[in-house]
Amino acid sequence: MTGKKIITVFGATGAQGGAVADTFLNDPKLKDNWTVRAVTRDVTKDSAKKLESKGAEVVAADLNDKASVAKVLAGSYAVFAVTNYWEKLDRDLEVKQGKDIVDAAKETGVQHFIWSSLLNINKLSNGKFANVYHFDSKADVEEYAREVGIPSTFFLPGFYLSNVPDSFRPSPPNNAWTLSFPVTINATIPIFDTADTGKYVKAIVLNRDKLLGKRIYGATEYTSPAQLIEDFKKLFPEAGKTATYYQLPAETFKNYLKSVGMPDFAALELYENFQLFDEFGYYGGASLDETHALVEDKLTTWTDFIKKSTKFPADLK
């Protein structure tokens, strides 16, 4: 026994969980007090071995096998849990996985359940956007955790900055850098770097008592397509000269997704997901102030993100 608390991290080989594992392994305020138990279905893969070499205890569990989940939770003080809707595109499966983690956390006496949640958009939009399944499913799990009464905090990640570069490229007819989303140029987007996940989760565990039952909104700031372009122009005055925004028509956006293999329902889902930036709000209009007052570490801006991204040419001026 080391006397350290165990945080079990689901999705540890992925973006959010990987960042949580990194923070708890390296942060001076956390590393001496915590052991990271990193969960993957495949302990032999490179990302799992890397976690092990950095000091994590790497364990196998499958979210589709509740007994394996309960096994890895045994002895854990805290849990960071994220599910991946996009692997199977199955709302019911995601809810089942989440509820199984909640039940297993209750059975094993977990003291702090940290759930990567999102809002119920069907409810928020009064049924207007009824197809944003990957939000509603996570909200169902949040509701279930509240019902079951386990000590929980809900972390709501914003719009991944890693989504942006694929929609921001030199485009015909004149090769101008063009950002294309199916929303208005002044839409409100809460931007989030997945690499920051551990900074938020650090704030959550350091403020456990006051954050039980609360939501932490995971976003650096609210920005807009117009501002994303302005920041790009400042960083790259030459390439930025002609940088511009194109509001994708709904059908163009959905047809593109279908053309790359996305099922119709998921294309509609993503379209409705984007509409939150113009209507109702990704976070229902919630302020980020409380989150920012609690997070001690600097959060990544779009400009910081561009500087470290390999998606933009290294010689861009």
Q: How far is the CB of 85 from ligand NAP (least distance, A)?
A: 4
Q: How far is the CB of 192 from ligand NAP (least distance, A)?
A: 7
Of 7, 8, 9, 11, the one binding ligand NAP (CB under 6 A) is 11
- List binders of ligand NAP among 83-122 (CB under 6 A): 83-87
| Length of the chain measured in residues | 317
Piece of 7-15, 24-32, 169-177, 239-247 that binds ligand NAP (CB under 6 A): 7-15
- The tokens of 110 are what? 């977990």
Of 25, 78, 82, 114, the one binding ligand NAP (CB under 6 A) is 82
Within a 10 A sphere around the Cβ of 221, how many other Cβ atoms?
15
Using CB under 6 A as the binding criterion, the count of chain residues that bind ligand NAP stands at: 26
Q: How far is the CB of 45 from ligand NAP (least distance, A)?
A: 6
Q: Which is nearer to ligand NAP, 239 or 300 (CB)?
A: 300
Of 7, 8, 9, 13, the one binding ligand NAP (CB under 6 A) is 13
Of 8, 35, 40, 117, the one binding ligand NAP (CB under 6 A) is 40
Question: Binding to ligand NAP by residue 266, rule CB under 6 A?
Answer: no
């007819």: which residue's tokens? 173
Piece of 39-47, 177-185, 235-243, 285-293 that binds ligand NAP (CB under 6 A): 39-47
Cα–Cα dist 125/127, whole Å: 5
- List binders of ligand NAP among 195-214 (CB under 6 A): none
Q: What backbone phi and psi angles, to 5 degrees, belong to 39?
A: -100, 135
DSSP string for the chain: --SPEEEEETTTTSHHHHHHHHHHHH-TTTTTTEEEEEEES-TTSHHHHHHHHTT-EEEE--TT-HHHHHHHHTT-SEEEE---HHHHT-HHHHHHHHHHHHHHHHHTT-SEEEEE----HHHHTTTSS---HHHHHHHHHHHHHHHHT--EEEEEE-EEGGGSGGGEEEETTTTEEEEEESS-TT--EEEE-GGGHHHHHHHHHHTHHHHTT-EEEE-SEEE-HHHHHHHHHHH-HHHHTT-EEEE--HHHHHHHHHHTT--HHHHHHHHHHHHTTTTT-TTTT--SHHHHHH--SPPPPHHHHHHH-SSS-TT--
Q: How far is the CB of 105 from ligand NAP (least distance, A)?
A: 15
Question: Binding to ligand NAP by residue 62, rule CB under 6 A?
Answer: yes
- CB of 224 within 8 A of CB of 185? yes
Question: Binding to ligand NAP by residue 265, rule CB under 6 A?
Answer: no
Q: Which is nearer to ligand NAP, 42 or 264 (CB)?
A: 42
Piece of 61-69, 220-228, 237-245, 290-298 that binds ligand NAP (CB under 6 A): 61-69
Q: How far is the CB of 317 from ligand NAP (least distance, A)?
A: 29
Q: Which is nearer to ligand NAP, 35 or 194 (CB)?
A: 194
- List binders of ligand NAP among 141-170 (CB under 6 A): 157, 159-160, 163
Question: Binding to ligand NAP by residue 64, rule CB under 6 A?
Answer: yes
Question: Binding to ligand NAP by residue 283, rule CB under 6 A?
Answer: no
Residues that bind ligand NAP (CB under 6 A): 10-17, 40-42, 62-64, 82-87, 134, 157, 159-160, 163, 194
